[in-house]
Amino acid sequence: MSSYSVEGSTATAATVATVNSYASVWGVDDTYQQYPYQVRYYLDQLYDNPAPVTGVVPNNHVLFGVGWLGGIFASCLGTLAYVDATSAYVYVTPAQTNEAFAAAVTKVGVSSGATLDLGNAADRAQLFALLEEAIAGLETSVATDFSARTLTGL
């Protein structure tokens, strides 16, 4: 991590290209350095990006129905809790998650019956825009910032 921090503080386009290359970890025995590239390799497969070295495009299609995705969004974010205006510790409700997701569907302009393909760059961008908008809407709805951190317990 410290080596990337040093590189990042003086990074140029050439530095980014070098760090971004899979070749930068070939032959490295440090799994800590290899792990991010392994994760990226899996994502490249899901996103239909060419494989390193061979350049073969995997031709994968991982499909997400927007309606189904809304249910998953509600299930996942319904496990979160926050401190409300009365200083009570409360869980996000299904109504709040459903409302945030429905508003995001409208704002992003995707049909609730649509299917988005993770291997298609335009669909992938729409999928991530939808999730980001839904999370932002939920944060507004519950008046909290899910990325906020504290060093003290509740």
How far apart CA 30 and CA 35 sit, in angstroms, is 9
Structure tokens at 147: 């990325």
Residues 86 and 16 in one domain: no
Q: How far is CA 35 from CA 3, 38, 60, 132, 141, in A?
A: 15, 5, 22, 26, 36
In this predicted model, what pLDDT tens digit does every residue of 45-102 receive, in sequence order?
888 888 887 888 888 899 999 999 999 999 999 999 888 889 898 999 999 999 999 9
Residues 42 and 112 in one domain: no
Residue 33 counted as domain residue: yes
pTM greater than 0.85 = no
Residue 132 counted as domain residue: yes
Residues 39 and 72 in one domain: no
Residue 55 counted as domain residue: no
Residues 67 and 94 in one domain: yes
Residues 130 and 68 in one domain: yes
In total, how many domains does the chain have?
2
Q: What is the pLDDT of residue 34?
A: 86
Residue 152 counted as domain residue: no
Residues 88 and 40 in one domain: no
Residues 67 and 137 in one domain: yes
Pairing verdict, β 115-117 and 89-91: unpaired
Predicted confidence band of residue 153 (pLDDT cuts 50, 70, 90): low
Domain with 8, as residue range(s), is 2-46
Residue 67 counted as domain residue: yes
Residue 57 counted as domain residue: no
Q: What is the pLDDT of residue 1?
A: 58
- Amino acid in position 7: E
Residues 37 and 85 in one domain: no
How far apart CA 111 and CA 125 sit, in angstroms, is 15
